[in-house]
Structure 1
Amino acid sequence: MSKGNPPGLDLERLRAYLERERPGLVRGPLGADLVEGGRSNLTYAVTDGTGRWVVRRPPLGHVLATAHDMRREHRVISALRDTAVPVPEAIALCEDEDVLGSPFYVMEFVTGTPYRTAEQLGALGPARTREVVLGLADTLVDLHAVDPEEVGLGDFGRPEGFLERQLRRWGKQLEASRNRELAGIDELREALGKALPPSPAPTVVHGDYRLDNVLIGADDTVEAVLDWEMSTLGDPLTDLGLLMMYSEQRPVPGSPISTTRDAPGHPEPAEIVERYAARSGRDVSALPWYTAFAYFKLAVILEGIHYRYTLGQTLGAGFDRIGQLVPLFVEGGLTTLQEG
């Protein structure tokens, strides 16, 4: 664990803040490392040599409107703490930008593995791999079964007109990061707008639900669901569509986008859908639209990251290849809509 300040995290300021807000929590000088693997908000593992915590803050530089909301992440993991959905304990939320230069929050460090590659997941063997992936579907059902009113999230979003608003929002995000021509992306956005399905009853949605956004414990179950920056109240099938999109992905040579699809024992996407449908009782017949929307959404996210890379405002390896991936996701969205 590094004793120096990683980019975006002043450890002395963080320690002073925690000593004010949570006296007795920190018992010595802090060390921290930037956690690799994230492509959006910055995540740090922090320790005083005895205790361990996680700090989340927005990325440095260019930030898209409505994204990277620390209060939102902190609120949802606090609300879900006593439900069947496994989340880290929320420890502190700081909205004073004088501390670290941006809002941030601190949460419990949960021990577990975020499986990002087929090699990592495949080391479990086919039987355990299958259970891990199907368990991901089971946890998603548990999330969508939470009553928002009962956990204090009744006003967490505006579910009326959710899909139309989401499509409009991501279209605006695209325009905010557009600095090159992207063949087919406007066609995909227009096709999605013409085929909007009716939404089921709203639930809490994660917004970026996938295997490497959860921690898997030693017993192969989900220990914690992470990265709640896109969570809201809305159409639960958007989460399932995104999970399907990730579950379909094959490895692309040189790509920094994680995929576990080729791990022996990994269930077929259709089986994951069947597991979700059977446990939730939801109608999933319109899922191709939601999967195509997931392709569009990720294309926009990747284009935003590529835009920040061109401005020199990204941290970590692999960002130089992000821009090359965007057309693949545009094509995936168009193909899914046409075949659905």
Structure 2
Amino acid sequence: MSHLPGLDLTRLAEWLVAERTLSARLIAGGRSNLTYEIGDGERVWVLRRPPVGPVLATAHDVAREYRVMAALAGTGVPVPAMYALCTDDSVIGAPFYLMEKVDGTPFRRAAQLARLGPDRARRISLRLVDTLVALHDVDPAEVGLADFGRAEGFLDRQVRRWSAQLAAAGSGDLPAAEELRSRLASNVPAQSRPGIVHGDYRLDNVLVDSADRLTAVIDWEMATVGDPLTDLALLIAYQKLSRLPGGHLVTDAASAPGQLTEDEVHSRYRSRSGRDPAHFGFHLGLACYKLAAIVEGIRHRHLHGQTVGAGFDGIGALTEPLLEIGLAALKEDG
């Protein structure tokens, strides 16, 4: 059995009572929960576990990922089938779950989409927005997620949470971060109708098949029940990030020819969802603040050798521009 960081195949085989030798390969690592493809020669699964090393409090909760995807089975939101959840750290050193391997491509790079042409890229972009609308149309209580999060006070808690995450990343002196935090804390608007929030909704967190259909929404580690407009704002914040120097270190797919513009995303979501994105400058400012905290968390883990995978050098250069975009959005909101 081959060795991979964060995965003990011998212990996993014992836990599965596997009759065949297991093989594995890392699909994605470092930026979020680690994802591996596991096979025994006949069957294939996907395994998710937290990053190697210490993680920030409340982050990388694979049990929550498992629960929300299991709950969404049978809704209009495409998700993989869930097979098993293990909360015993002694098996591979952290909690993990196994799920169906779904065929499809997570488009992270603009160059990948450019090969498809602008018409196909636009079709994928439209379906990305429509799937977000479908998610936000799901009643949490009807799928057993009424207690998955507290909608009341959600936006206030988000400001506090990402402030704490930014501080925990040891980012040092960031005056723009303190200014943005202060402005967000003093301008929290009334919340929109509660719904299931993905928490990191973007093009490379969905799988797209050869017919440009979304086959699965993945990476639910930050999912909760709260204000769905935070998902819309984050999707648009990723569009802005994709055009920043160094944005490709996270994702630059939204900058590909044919992708919807920020105004088009906003307009299509509003018309299809029936939600009124009032005070959207606050939501966009919060989304940029959150992205800055995530970027700093990645930078911190990379500096301390806690990431798996390559491509993290220089990611900290995105922090200041994201904070400035957030401040500009709040000022435009009035």
- TM interval, shorter chain, is over 0.9
Aligned with 1:100: secondary structure? coil
- Residues 12 and 98 from structure 1, CA distance in 2 versus in 1: closer, same or farther, beyond 3 angstroms? same
Aligned with 1:297: secondary structure? helix
- C-alpha contact (below 8 Å) 2:30/2:51 kept by paired residues: no
Deviating above 6 A after TM superposition, structure 1's stretches of 4 or more consecutive aligned residues are none
- C-alpha contact (below 8 Å) 1:255/1:318 kept by paired residues: no
Question: What letter is aligned with 2:14?
Answer: A
Report whether the alignment pairs 1:175 with 2:167.
yes
| Counterpart among 9, 13, 16 of residue 18 in structure 1 | 16
Distance in 2 separating the partners of 1:287 and 1:326: 21
Q: Kindly, what percent of the aligned residue pairs are identical?
A: 53
| Counterpart among 104, 108, 112 of residue 96 in structure 2 | 104
| Counterpart among 256, 277, 287 of residue 263 in structure 1 | 256
Q: What is the CA deviation profile of residues 241-282 of structure 1, one whole-angstrom value per residue up to 9, with x for unaligned ones?
A: 000111233152484121123312111111111111111100
Report the count of equivalent residues. 332
Distance in 2 separating the partners of 1:329 and 1:38: 21
Using the size of structure 2 for normalisation, the TM-score is 0.96
Q: What's the CA shift for 1:292?
A: 1.2
Say which is worse superposed, 149-158 or 279-288, in terms of deviation: 279-288
Residues 198-217 of structure 1: matches in 2 within 5 Å?
A: 198-217=190-209
- C-alpha contact (below 8 Å) 1:148/1:204 kept by paired residues: yes
- C-alpha contact (below 8 Å) 2:15/2:91 kept by paired residues: yes
Aligned with 1:98: secondary structure? coil
- C-alpha contact (below 8 Å) 2:37/2:44 kept by paired residues: yes
Q: What's the CA shift for 1:62?
A: 2.0
- C-alpha contact (below 8 Å) 1:144/1:205 kept by paired residues: yes
Equivalent residue, structure 1, for 2:238: 246
Equivalent residue, structure 2, for 1:228: 220
Equivalent residue, structure 1, for 2:320: 327
Distance in 1 separating the partners of 2:190 and 2:272: 21
Q: What is the CA deviation profile of residues 5-29 of structure 1, one whole-angstrom value per residue up to 9, with x for unaligned ones?
A: 210001121122122xxxxxx5521
Equivalent residue, structure 2, for 1:138: 130
| Counterpart among 31, 35, 41 of residue 39 in structure 1 | 31
Question: What letter is aligned with 2:270?
Answer: A
| Counterpart among 300, 308, 316 of residue 307 in structure 1 | 300
Equivalent residue, structure 2, for 1:56: 48
Question: What letter is aligned with 2:89?
Answer: E
| Counterpart among 68, 88, 94 of residue 76 in structure 1 | 68
Distance in 2 separating the partners of 1:305 and 1:207: 17
Distance in 1 separating the partners of 2:94 and 2:254: 36
Aligned with 1:105: secondary structure? strand
Residues 270-285 of structure 1: matches in 2 within 5 Å?
A: 270-285=263-278
Q: What's the CA shift for 1:156?
A: 0.4
Question: What letter is aligned with 1:109?
Answer: K
Aligned with 1:320: secondary structure? coil
- Considering only aligned residues, what root-mean-square deviation do their CA atoms show, in Å? 1.4
Distance in 2 separating the partners of 1:224 and 1:47: 20
Report whether the alignment pairs 1:162 with 2:154.
yes
Q: What's the CA shift for 1:339?
A: 2.5
Say which is worse superposed, 181-190 or 85-94, in terms of deviation: 181-190
Report whether the alignment pairs 1:127 with 2:125.
no
- C-alpha contact (below 8 Å) 1:255/1:322 kept by paired residues: no
Equivalent residue, structure 2, for 1:8: 6
Higher relative contact order (CA 8 A, sep 6+): 2
- C-alpha contact (below 8 Å) 2:196/2:223 kept by paired residues: yes
Say which is worse superposed, 229-238 or 325-334, in terms of deviation: 325-334
Distance in 2 separating the partners of 1:268 and 1:27: 51
Question: What letter is aligned with 1:298?
Answer: L
Q: What's the CA shift for 1:168?
A: 0.8
Question: What letter is aligned with 2:90?
Answer: D
Say which is worse superposed, 206-215 or 53-62, in terms of deviation: 53-62
Distance in 1 separating the partners of 2:328 and 2:93: 43
Q: What's the CA shift for 1:220?
A: 0.7
Distance in 2 separating the partners of 1:33 and 1:179: 33
Q: What's the CA shift for 1:179?
A: 4.4
Equivalent residue, structure 2, for 1:117: 109
- C-alpha contact (below 8 Å) 2:30/2:307 kept by paired residues: no
Q: What is the CA deviation profile of residues 61-80 of structure 1, one whole-angstrom value per residue up to 9, with x for unaligned ones?
A: 12100111111011000000
| Counterpart among 68, 71, 77 of residue 85 in structure 1 | 77
- Residues 132 and 304 from structure 1, CA distance in 2 versus in 1: closer, same or farther, beyond 3 angstroms? same
Give unmatched runs, 5+ long, in structure 1: 20-25
- Residues 38 and 177 from structure 1, CA distance in 2 versus in 1: closer, same or farther, beyond 3 angstroms? closer
Equivalent residue, structure 2, for 1:22: none
